[in-house]
Structure 1
């Protein structure tokens, strides 16, 4: 470790905002910079980002964080990058200009294509066996294919090796190193539908299926590795020592051991269970994915994805104007959940785990004349807990061992009454850490291990402290009743477009 290394800089490139978090040797946050960026919805079900805006935003928040803390750049030992995962960018190899807006993980434009492939059960099983994923528009592979098929001349340019494709970690690293580094890590690669999670390489059969030339894809490395050095004038010469998908970064930040589960409640909500070196295949709509690549060893996880979590609260705030600020959620939830039998199912863009139905749509059930705005607010907030319940049950069935512990993080986890309801619904304790930046912390830990600011993982374990543990307190009969209402409403939502 360099003598003057005092801090680690984590870049957290999320779905709606970019952040820069500077942490010290005690994993304490020294400074944060954050900016939101534009969401584009060119057609129903389509979601795009401007990759140049994401990059510019990331530079701005780094400068913001450094200036806030009045730091000497030479004291920053390394950078760790964590990112929204399946979102894909394709750019010109020479100019560095994106050829199209980034297509976001939430985007559904390839639904018809996925449905056409799903008729071939052998193909579906082959994809699941090699990637651990289901055939769904969520993942990067069909997005890359769509761009190659629909941007004029792009497929020809791909075959000539004139363009590059990557997830946001790859895009940021390429830009930060002035085009010298073209890498991704095992966790991000495992979300593309193109990467064999057993053989640990881009899979030729999958590349042929989606008609994607391997030459446009990045080299895949460990999550903690040498990814180049920054060439940006404002913070030049800092090594990039970790790349990791945001959910896997959160799992590492929580220090989750084998058999332990974490839930990140953000725009969507993502639950991930550490299964160690064991590859656990799901029979209940979960994904098998790579949890981490470290010291030449890969570990695995089971994952459940909820598309709409915090976005449901944003909906009742910004579209329905039922609340003015998110802090009101706790007021309406009160101490005992009761929405008069009203259930909100927020399947605005279909549903991920455990049902995987792109045609499902949101609905509200149980409306009577006595229902008021408070009931709609309560039911919308509670839908996050109910969707988590569906996935939690799938984890229990697939893992077939006791889930040792569940840790929580993300913006929605600050809503205490909702997290208490979550503990009641799951009949499980929830551990909420002191750190408010667990996702950034995971990337920082990985970069810090490589640069030597922390010696080993045992040292990282000692740095994690909990501010609150939610214990289940609900009435079991009431719990059964509201879960029953939820399940009946979900059935209707799943059948909506049939």
Structure 2
């Protein structure tokens, strides 16, 4: 009998629900965006109620298709935006605050305060990540110190803190399961990389209690069961849960040491599989857990960029330079090749490998002949430059020569960007024929646990389009030198 799995991809801009068959092919996909709540201070938040209701709406919409036989659905995989902080009541399951989105740096003052105590090296040694408001721990602290409802719940023993996976699992299981797994937990800055557990010293540093947090289990653990509040007529198990970047790595089958991928989403996660033992970066990159399957962890080296695909949205929604995201490709090809404009999209600081929270966005190198096409092209190229910076440092940390970069995310449809990325890296780029690699990664893991998928099925589920480098080395080096000079003007 044909069996199907559901996948939920709860990402920064919206939520996607997919139906996947036993050959690993997506049969149906439904999506819905949620509001981006931006305060006057520039803080970024999401309405957790809206997100959860969107999931129920999408599952109902997917199952409304008469071609979908819901009785054949046997499991669920979940992937999610990662460092976003959520808080809710244990008793009522209701959110106590809007979420603090991963992009948001409102916890900067908390990190500055913690840094003055001299614990930054200890934090890095335990977590593989520098102290930063980017990660969830400082966001939790901010919520505890600034939202009265959160403080009241904490005092009453009624507080749940979690990344988005924990929030969704808690809701979908009607409060029966309060769990997370290492790909998400390792991004909170509260999990000890070597023990795989919440760390007492880290909790003390951030003024938090272990009782606030979910239980850490394997990525292929049984996270509970759900019928989506009666939308399905039977309960299905939740078996595969991973943060979106790690799930994309898994979906791309980057399962061997040195395999590397880059996700082009709102931001970018550049990630390399570094095997069964953690490697601490000497170049300001981060070490995290990729996944933990049947008790065996796989570690990754990662660099995160705050603004990649979001640059294109900024060009469209805020500057009005383009009507559609796809317009950027044609405009980039039409731009003056001699123009040397560089856009530094540090709208909320710079992430890896600069870690400069104070940096602000700027455009460098404009002349009187710089026009709309050139500005749009500089926005596209800024994505590739940032990603290349991270990849070069990964090579230094691991000694791996990157011959192939697998990529995923919406911006991979832009041929100009993909060719430029290949040229900067001087390596082959492989673009899958399926955009939804993050959600497929979690579904693949769930399906493996249910005995539906094996490695042969997964290796044949995705086909690739390839880009090869074309740019002359001298031209490439000149462009990178110009980028480094532009970055140096603000990286102080």
TM-score, normalised by the number of residues in structure 2: 0.97
Instruction: Give the match for residue 253 of structure 1.
Output: 251
Tell me how far 1:45 sits from its aligned partner.
Answer: 3.4
Following the alignment from structure 1 to structure 2, what is the Cα–Cα distance between the partners of residues 67 and 356? 46
Instruction: Give the match for residue 466 of structure 2.
Output: 469
Following the alignment from structure 2 to structure 1, what is the Cα–Cα distance between the partners of residues 137 and 107? 10
Does structure 1 conserve the Cα–Cα contact (< 8 Å) formed by 2:177 and 2:224?
A: yes
Does structure 1 conserve the Cα–Cα contact (< 8 Å) formed by 2:114 and 2:205?
A: no
Does structure 2 conserve the Cα–Cα contact (< 8 Å) formed by 1:159 and 1:213?
A: no
Instruction: Give the match for residue 235 of structure 2.
Output: 237
Following the alignment from structure 2 to structure 1, what is the Cα–Cα distance between the partners of residues 366 and 199? 50
C-alpha distance 458-124 of structure 1, shift in aligned 2 (>3 A): farther
Tell me how far 1:329 sits from its aligned partner.
Answer: 1.3
Following the alignment from structure 1 to structure 2, what is the Cα–Cα distance between the partners of residues 58 and 355? 36
Q: Which moved more, 1:222-231 or 1:354-363?
A: 222-231
C-alpha distance 170-299 of structure 1, shift in aligned 2 (>3 A): same
Tell me how far 1:153 sits from its aligned partner.
Answer: 5.7
C-alpha distance 5-229 of structure 1, shift in aligned 2 (>3 A): farther
Counterpart of 1:171 (choices 167, 173, 176) is 167
Following the alignment from structure 1 to structure 2, what is the Cα–Cα distance between the partners of residues 339 and 308? 25
Tell me how far 1:422 sits from its aligned partner.
Answer: 0.6
Counterpart of 2:219 (choices 212, 217, 223) is 223
C-alpha distance 336-255 of structure 1, shift in aligned 2 (>3 A): farther
Equivalenced residue count is: 489
Residue aligned with 1:326, SS: coil
Does structure 2 conserve the Cα–Cα contact (< 8 Å) formed by 1:16 and 1:36?
A: yes
Does structure 1 conserve the Cα–Cα contact (< 8 Å) formed by 2:402 and 2:427?
A: no
Following the alignment from structure 2 to structure 1, what is the Cα–Cα distance between the partners of residues 52 and 450? 25
Residue aligned with 1:334, SS: helix
Unmatched segments (≥5 aa) in structure 1? none
Task: Say whether 1:426 aligns with 2:425.
Answer: yes
Q: Which moved more, 1:37-46 or 1:361-370?
A: 37-46
Q: Which moved more, 1:79-88 or 1:471-480?
A: 471-480
Following the alignment from structure 2 to structure 1, what is the Cα–Cα distance between the partners of residues 335 and 393? 26
Following the alignment from structure 1 to structure 2, what is the Cα–Cα distance between the partners of residues 309 and 339? 24
Instruction: Give the match for residue 26 of structure 1.
Output: 23
Following the alignment from structure 1 to structure 2, what is the Cα–Cα distance between the partners of residues 365 and 404? 31
Instruction: Give the match for residue 363 of structure 2.
Output: 364
Tell me how far 1:278 sits from its aligned partner.
Answer: 2.1
Instruction: Give the match for residue 112 of structure 2.
Output: 115
Residue aligned with 2:358, SS: coil
Instruction: Give the match for residue 190 of structure 1.
Output: 186
Instruction: Give the match for residue 80 of structure 2.
Output: 83
Does structure 1 conserve the Cα–Cα contact (< 8 Å) formed by 2:3 and 2:74?
A: yes
Residue aligned with 2:257, SS: coil
Following the alignment from structure 2 to structure 1, what is the Cα–Cα distance between the partners of residues 456 and 129? 32
Following the alignment from structure 2 to structure 1, what is the Cα–Cα distance between the partners of residues 42 and 367? 31
Does structure 2 conserve the Cα–Cα contact (< 8 Å) formed by 1:5 and 1:76?
A: no
Residue aligned with 2:226, SS: coil
Tell me how far 1:391 sits from its aligned partner.
Answer: 0.6
RMSD (CA atoms): 1.5
Task: Say whether 1:269 aligns with 2:268.
Answer: yes
Tell me how far 1:428 sits from its aligned partner.
Answer: 0.8
C-alpha distance 404-372 of structure 1, shift in aligned 2 (>3 A): closer
Matches within 5 A, 1:349-388: 349-388=348-387
C-alpha distance 69-368 of structure 1, shift in aligned 2 (>3 A): farther
Following the alignment from structure 1 to structure 2, what is the Cα–Cα distance between the partners of residues 399 and 443? 27
Unmatched segments (≥5 aa) in structure 2? none
Following the alignment from structure 1 to structure 2, what is the Cα–Cα distance between the partners of residues 69 and 287? 46
Following the alignment from structure 2 to structure 1, what is the Cα–Cα distance between the partners of residues 338 and 35? 34
Task: Say whether 1:132 aligns with 2:131.
Answer: no
Q: Which moved more, 1:38-47 or 1:352-361?
A: 38-47
Following the alignment from structure 1 to structure 2, what is the Cα–Cα distance between the partners of residues 51 and 304? 27
Counterpart of 1:50 (choices 24, 47, 50) is 47
Tell me how far 1:120 sits from its aligned partner.
Answer: 4.1
Tell me how far 1:118 sits from its aligned partner.
Answer: 2.4
C-alpha distance 69-46 of structure 1, shift in aligned 2 (>3 A): farther
Q: Tell me the alpha carbon deviations over residues 196-226 of structure 1, each in whole angstroms, 9 at most, x when there is no partner.
A: 1110111011111111111111111111111
Following the alignment from structure 2 to structure 1, what is the Cα–Cα distance between the partners of residues 379 and 474? 21
